[in-house]
Structure 1
Amino acid sequence: MQLIKCPWCGPREETEFHYGGQAHVEYPAEPAALSDEEWARYLFFRDNPKGRFAERWSHSHGCRRWFNAIRDTATYRFEAVYRPDEPQPVNS
């Protein structure tokens, strides 16, 4: 079992967390002006790289807070975790 470090609670078992998708996706500035196709792109089209990737995670069975993580999608290794109000780490 892998431990994931919650920024508020510290290391916990991975079963306490839920994946929340790609991090740093900006909400549209004028949502009412978007076409159906633009809404679909915003909601469903995300990057899916092999390697280092910024993601959102929720500590759903703990403090219930959201945080961001840098994770290698090929190895599943978490390189860094950080609060949503903190800048994305450049290198870990």
Structure 2
Amino acid sequence: MLRIQCPCCGARDHDEFRYGGDAARIRPAHDDPDFEAWYRYVYVRDNQPGPHLEYWQHVMGCRQWLIVQRDTRNHLIHAVSFARKSTP
């Protein structure tokens, strides 16, 4: 069972959270007209095994957005921090 250590609420089951996507991706500027940059941002993924930064929201708790560093090979969580205080 995957448990996430929320900085506000403590260890909770992952069912209390909503996955929010890849936290390591860099979004193109809002007014960037480059179609290829937007295409790569939205659709292209490497899916490399190993440590990965992810956004998760604690929807059944404090409602905070978090950045979770999770190893995709074994689902081991290495670190959890507030998304508003971190820069991936």
TM-score, structure 1 length as denominator?
0.77
SS at match of 1:41: helix
Q: For 1:73 and 1:24, how far apart are their aligned partners in 2?
A: 14
Q: 2:14 is matched with which residue?
A: 14
Q: 2:5 is matched with which residue?
A: 5
For the 8 Å contact 2:28–2:37, the answer to whether it is kept is no
Q: 1:80 is matched with which residue?
A: 79
Q: Indicate the RMSD between aligned Cα atoms, in angstroms.
A: 1.9
Rate the CA distance shift 1:7–1:34 in 2: closer, same or farther, 3 A.
farther
* Count of aligned pairs: 87
Moved more, 18-27 or 74-83: 18-27
- 1:46 paired with 2:45, answer yes
Percent identical across equivalent pairs?
40
Shift, 1:71, TM fit: 0.5
Gaps of 5+ in 1: none
Moved more, 2-11 or 32-41: 32-41
TM-score, structure 2 length as denominator?
0.80
